[in-house]
Amino acid sequence: MSTSICPCGSGTLLDACCGHYHSGHPAPCAEALMRSRYTAYVLGLIDYLVDTTLPAQQAALDRQSISDWSANSTWLGLEVESSEVFGGQTEHAFVTFTARWHDSTGEHGHRERSSFVQNAGHWYFIDPTVQLKAGRNDACPCASGQKFKKCCSGYFSS
C-alpha cells in the first residue's frame, strides 16, 4: 500500500485512484483511463501505456520513445478540462487536457484532445499518430463490430 497522493491531480491516494487501474481493474470511463495513463508516464509504467492503447495499434508503438519520454521528463501536473461523448455513441469519447512537464530543454505544457474507445468493458486510447488500416466499409479495427466509417474513422478525419 502506498500513502502518496495520486500524480493525476485528483487529490486522492494513488492506490484509490490511478493505482487501482494500474493493478488491473478496468478504468470505468475515458477520463479515468486518461488520468491513469498520465500517472503511468509519471511512474514509468510502459507496459500499461502500451496495453491501454487500441490493440490494433500496439504493434506499431515506439516503445523506446515512450520509455525515454517517461524517464527523461519531470512531470509537473495534469488538468482535465472536459470529457465528452463523440458522435452520440457512448463507447466513443474525447478527453481534453493539459499536461505539464520539465525536461532538459525547459518547461512544457501540452493541450490535447485525445480520443478513446470502449470495447468489452475496457477503454482504450487511440493514438492519432498510428493510422488504423481499414477501408470505410471494413470492420473497425477496434473490434466493435461496426463498420470503420461509422466507428473510429471519425477520430482520424477531424
Distance CA 133, CA 91 (A): 20
Among 45, 52, 144, 155, binds Zn ion (CB under 5 A): 144
35: closest CA among 125, 121, 101? 125
Of the residues 2, 8, 114, 150, which one makes contact with Zn ion according to CB under 5 A: 8
Q: Which one of 33, 40, 45, 140 is in contact with Zn ion (CB under 5 A)? A: 140
Q: In what order do the strands lie in the sheet with 89-103?
A: 74-86, 89-103, 106-119, 122-126
Instruction: Give alpha helix (H) positions in the chain.
Output: 18-22, 30-43, 46-51, 55-58, 63-71, 154-157
In total, the chain counts a number of residues equal to 158
Instruction: Establish if 54 lies at the interface with Zn ion (CB under 5 A).
Output: no
In the bound state with Zn ion, the residue whose beta carbon lies nearer, of 63 and 113, is 113
Residues in contact with Zn ion, shown as a per-residue x/- string from 85 to 114 under the rule CB under 5 A? ------------------------------
Question: How far, in Å, CA of 76 to CA of 107, rounded?
Answer: 9
- Shortest Cβ distance from residue 84 to Zn ion (Å)? 17
126 forms part of the interface with Zn ion (CB under 5 A): no
Q: Which of 78, 87, 91 is nearest to 124 (CA)?
A: 91
Pattern of binders to Zn ion over 12-41, x per CB under 5 A? -----xx----------------x------
Interface positions with Zn ion (CB under 5 A): 6, 8, 10, 17-18, 35, 140, 142, 144, 151-152
